[in-house]
A and B are shown apart, each in its own frame.
Chain A
């Protein structure tokens, strides 16, 4: 059965896709953040995610014995080949939307990486060991912003409340399992995402409550990212992100 190896490659690429797409989204704030310190912070967080993507893609390339390089995996696939969770690809919206999404994702990464640390796959465990420390900082910051905006002015409260309402239906997908993740679970390579849901809900609800925000209702859910079924926004982000590599194939820094 060659499946195990393929499962691992698919899994690693999906983790890379989550990081790359969110990193690309965050970098769209460069020069546009509300003030200088925040501009630097967003760009630095974006770099952490792009660096993480590079580590995952390098590993995938190594598993494939160099059939594709990390750059080829990142820049020469089309939308349907991407496996990122949908929440990562949503447009940045206003600052409240960006921080609400970031908080939801940071809380998820915080729990996810603690489990990935225990992966029997040494490379994945090493990437998690590195990423988990950075995520502590990411979460601390996005959580602060949720409190500040939620418990801030009427305007900031209303904006972040609306953002959570628009994002909430994407949270269910964080805790579903794709085929390759399920297959890798028996060897304790992947993370059981279904088991993270309760802790995530607790962490996020407590912060929302403290920020005087209501927990949005669960009346709609959308998923499909891990199967390559994306929102209309995904193609647009790729046209921008892949422009250089498509126009000048093989170009290197």
Chain B
């Protein structure tokens, strides 16, 4: 089932007067997961365009996410190349980001990239993104970045990243 926050965000984009800018920003990916756009990740919250100036609202995934700075630069660069000179990227504290904000396309892209998407219920097994086995175990609560944990598949023996629930 889709979370309320994701539904809100999808409605905001659908009803927005600046669809072209939303589409433009689909080019901006998470610097650490380059297949996932900021939209699919849930970081991109809102866009307001007034004339030539654009205000982009984003939320950080984790408090200490070091990629935030790069995301802001990338947003500015993409908008600048489309001719928007006055760009303000605002980091909002609320709503607090949650993995429920990841779109279903985003979940599929994570899986294809070899990262297990967050499970929908706390007790569901983490499925291996490589061989789809549910027999996996946690190696470390923290993986290569704060948003991921490290797992190993007991069927194919491969270690993999799991995008953990937050």
Contacts and interface: CB of A to CB of B under 8 A. Distances in A.
B143 to A, nearest CB: 7
B62 A129 contact: no
A45 B63 CA distance: 10
Contacts of B33: none
A48 B93 contact: no
Contacts of A123: 93
Interface residues of B, number: 24
B64 A50 contact: yes
**Which of B62, B65, B94, B144 has its CB near the most chain A CB atoms (within 10 A)?**
B62
Contacts of A133: 96, 98, 166
Interface string B117-155: 000000000000000000000011111111000100000
Binding site secondary structure of chain B: loop
A40 B142 contact: yes
A129 B5 CA distance: 15
Interface string B85-115: 0000000011111100000000000000000
A40 B145 CA distance: 8
B90 to A, nearest CB: 12
Given A37-B150, A129-B94, A47 B64 contact: yes
Interface stretch (A71-79, A134-142, A219-227): A134-142
A44 B150 CA distance: 13
A150 B58 CA distance: 43
B66 interface: yes
Contacts of A6: none
Interface of B: 60, 62-66, 69, 93-98, 139-146, 150, 164, 166
9 contacts: A40-B144, A46-B64, A48-B62, A48-B64, A123-B93, A129-B95, A130-B63, A134-B62, A141-B141
